[in-house]
Amino acid sequence: MPDKLKYILLLLICVLGQTAFAQQTNPNYPNNPNYPNTPGQRPNLRDTTTTKVYTADQQLDSLRKKVDKKKDTVVFSSKFIRVTNERLLKDSTQLFPLDTGLFNFENYSPLLQPRHPKISLGNTGTDERSLLYEPSKTIGFDDGLHTLDAYLLNPQDINYYRARVPLTQLYFISGGLKEQIFKIMHTQNINKQLNVGFNLNFIGSQGFYSNNEVLEQNVSHTNAAVYAWYESKNKRYNLLGNLIYNDLKDPQTGSILNDSIYVTGSIDKTTELVRLPNTYENWKTGGLYLKQFYYIGRIDSAKKVGGTTTNILPTQRVSYTLNYKTSKYNFIQNDPDTYNVFPDYYYANNYSRDSLTVTHLQNEFSYSFYLRNKDAKFIKNEVKLDLALSQDYYQYSQYVADTVLNQYGTKVVQPKNVQGASFQDITLKARFSYRFSDRIGLDGDFQQIAEGRDAGNFLYDAKVTLAGGKKAGRIVFEGYSQSTSPPLAYTDWTSNHFIFHDKFNNQKTNSVSFNYINDALKVDLKAEYFLIGDYLYFASQPGGIDAQPMQVTSDINLLKVSLGKTFAWKRWHFDDYLVYQKTDYQSTLRTPQFYNYSSLYYKTFLFNVLYANIGVDVRYNSEYVAPSYAVGLGQFYNGQNVTFSSYPIATVFLKATLQHTNLFVMYDYANQGLFSPGFYTVNRYPQMDHLLKFGVSWSFYN
C-alpha cells in the first residue's frame, strides 16, 4: 500500500505540474506562432518533433518501472548479523559481530587446531585423542567413550543469530577422495523476536592407505541440527531450542599389515592390505535441548553498537533447562581375525555386534541474582550469584551378538542383553562473582553431586582477575579441585573381546594456574600445575594387546607451561605457540615434553581484489612413547614401548577474501621426504601423506 501511495503521489505531482504549465503564457512572446503553448495559437506544423500523449494509467506504469529499476543503495553484509551462543547467554544477553576473517581459516580440521593438537588413526574423521595433557572438568556419569568426540555436534556448539537479513553459509574442503568436508548453515529472523536456522555437516574420507573400494574403510560422518531463539519484545523472556542428530561411521581396520611402510616403501599405498577390511564402528546420537530464562526486576543495557543494544543485563533471572539425549555406540566386526587383532573372543568367533545405548534426561532449575550500580557502563562493586538444582536421569544397556541353539538345534546369532541399569544424580550448583571494578574480579564455580549413583563427586573452581591498562595487560589466577567417578568403560564393560568388572577409586585432580595476557604486546603466557590422584588409564601386559583398565595409586605431578606470541613487521606476521610439559610419570602419561606451532605469513592485496595471506604453518613435537589403539574397545592404551622419530610438519598455504567469500589453497605436509618419508602419532597407524587441498567458504546475505 505505501508503494501505491508513492506512485499516486508522483502521478498527481506530474499531472498538476503539467496543468499549471498548460495555463502559463510566455510573457515575452504572447502572439508568436512558434510557441504552440500560447493560448489561442495553432501549433507550428514545420516542427518535426512529436509529443505522445499518455493516459494516467500509462504514466503511473512508467513511474513504477523507473522506481523498480533503481538499484537498492543498501548493500547487505555481515554488519546486519549479530551472533551469540548459550555460553554467552548465561549471565546476560550478549551479541557480537559475525566473524568473517581469515584467522586460522586453513586449520579446518579438529585434529590440527594450533593450541589443541590431537593424535589420530591417520586422517580427519578417525579416532582421536589430545596430544597434550588436557583434563576434562566434568563430574558425574561418564560412559568412557570419547575417541570421536571431536566430530560430534552438541547443544553448546550451536550459534544463535539476530539477523536483519537471511544468512546462508556454505563451507567446502576438498583433498580429492582422500578427504572431503561440506557444511551448510542457514539462519533468518521470522520476525524481530524469533530467529530460526539449521546446520548440516558432512565429513567423508577414504584415507591415505588401503581402501580397495571397501566402503567400510571410508569415514562417513553426518551432523544435523535445527534451532531457534526467541526473545520477547520487552527483552525479559528468552527461549533457546535445538534438535540435534549425529551419525558417525569410522573404519576399524586394525592398521595396515606393513608396519615398516616408511622403510620398505610402497608403489601404491591404496593397495596395502589391512587387518580388518570390513570392520567399523558407528555412533548415533539424537537429542532435544530447551533452555528458558526470564528476567525479573530492573533491566540494564550496555555496549551500544551502531545504535543497537548488544548487552542486556538483568538484576534477577530464573531459568529452566530440559536436555534429552540418546546415544548408541555400535561396533561391527565382519572379518575373521586372521592377524590377531583381538586378545579374546567371549561370545562369537569372527563376528561381533557390540552395542551400548545410553539415555540421558536432565532437568535443571536455577535462580540468579545480580547487584550492580545503575550505570552499567562502569562496572563497580557488582555481585552475581547463581544457584541451581540439576536432576540427571540415566539409563543404559549393553548388547553383544551371541551364538545359541534355536528350537531346531541350529546355531544362530542373536543379540543378547548382557547388562543394564537406570539411576539418577542430584547436583547442587552455585556460581559466584564479584567485580570490585572493571579491573579486579573474583569468580567461583561450585558443583557437588549430593544424591545418586555418583554422590560425592565435586568440582570447586575459583578465579581471580587483575587487569591493568591496555599496555599492562591482565593476570588471571585460577585453581580447582575435582573428584569424579570412574567411567563405565573402566568398571563395568561387557563385549565380545573385552570384559571388565572392576572397582576403582574416584580420580582426583587439583590444579593451580597463572595466566598473563597482554593484547597490546600480543602475548599469552600460562603456567599450570596438576596434582593427579588415583589416575585411570588403559594398559596391557608387556608386548601384549589385552588392554585393560588400571589405576595409579600414587600421586602424579605435571607442570605445563605455554607461551603464545604474535610478531608483526610491515606486512609480515609471525604467530608462535610453544608448550613445555613435564611429569614424573612419563611412561604412564604418554605425551611429548615439547610442542610448537608456528605460522609465518605475508599479507598482501592481489589483483586489486583479493585480501590474501601467503605463508607456511609448521608443527613440531618432541619424541614420546606412542600409545596404541584397542579395536573393539575404542580406547587408546599404553601398549608396547615404541618411540618414533619426530620431525617438523610444514604446510604451505594461500588464503584470501573476495567480497563474501573466503578461500584457501594449501599443500599439506609439503616437506614429506625432506626429513622423513612419513610419521606416526599412534603405534602401527601411519599418518597422512602430502596432499593438495582446496577450501572455500561462501556467505550469502539475502
Q: Collapsing DSSP states into helix, strand and coil, what is residue 670?
A: coil
Identify the pLDDT of residue 180: 94
**Which DSSP string corresponds to 67-82?**
HHHSPPS----GGGEE
Q: What angle do CA 582, 584, 586 make, to 5 degrees?
A: 75
List of the chain residues with pLDDT < 70 = 1-78, 265-267, 302-310, 374-379, 405, 407
pTM of the model: 0.86
SS3 content of the chain, % helix, strand, coil (to 5): 10, 55, 40
Alpha-carbon distance of 308 to 90, in angstroms, equals 20
User: What are φ and ψ of residue 263, in 5° steps?
Assistant: -100, -50
Helices marked H in 567-689:
none
Q: What is the pLDDT of residues 276-312, one digit of tens each?
A: 999 999 999 999 999 999 999 888 776 554 444 467 8
CA distance readout (Å), 700 to 105, 158, 169:
18, 19, 6
Residue with cell 570392520: 279
How many residues belong to the chain? 702
CA–CA separation, 654 and 663 (whole Å)? 8
Phi then psi dihedrals of residue 262, to 5 deg: -85, -5
215 secondary structure, DSSP code: G
The whole-angstrom separation of Cα 25 and Cα 130 is 91
- Nearest one of 262, 181, 252 to 687, comparing CA atoms: 262
Which residues lie closer than 8 Å to 232 by C-beta, 6 or more apart? 193, 238
Give the position of cell 558417525: 248
How many other C-beta atoms lie within 10 A of the C-beta of residue 5? 9
Count the Cβ atoms, other than its own, within 10 Å of residue 99: 8
Question: What's the pLDDT at 49?
Answer: 39
- Residue 361 grid cell: 534426561
Decide: 290 and 243 in contact? Cβ < 8 Å: no
**In which residue are the cell numbers 489561442 written?**
40
255 forms bridges with which residues in the sheet? none
Q: What is the pLDDT of residue 565?
A: 96
Strands 680-682 and 661-668: unpaired
pLDDT tens digits, residue range 61-87? 554 455 455 545 555 666 788 999 998
CB count within 10 Å of CB 592 equals 20
Q: Report whether 246 contacts 232 (CB < 8 A).
A: no
DSSP state of 439: S
Q: Give the pLDDT confidence score for residue 27 in this predicted structure.
A: 39
What is the Cα–Cα distance from 340 to 631, expressed in whole angstroms? 11
Quick check: 125 and 147 in contact, CB under 8 A?
Answer: no
Q: Which domains does the chain have, with CATH numbers?
A: 2-69 (no CATH), 78-701 (2.40.170.20)
**Measured CA angle at 109 (ends 104, 115), to 5 deg:** 55
Alpha-carbon span 518 to 508, nearest angstrom: 33
Rounded distance between C-alpha atoms, residue 420 and residue 297, angstroms:
47
* Cα–Cα nearest to 313, from 229, 384, 240, 230: 384
| 3-state SS, residue 14 | helix
Quickly count: other Cβ atoms within 10 Å of residue 164's Cβ: 16
Query: How far is Cα 635 from Cα 547, in angstroms, rounded to an integer?
Result: 9
Helix and strand totals (H; E) in the chain: 4, 37
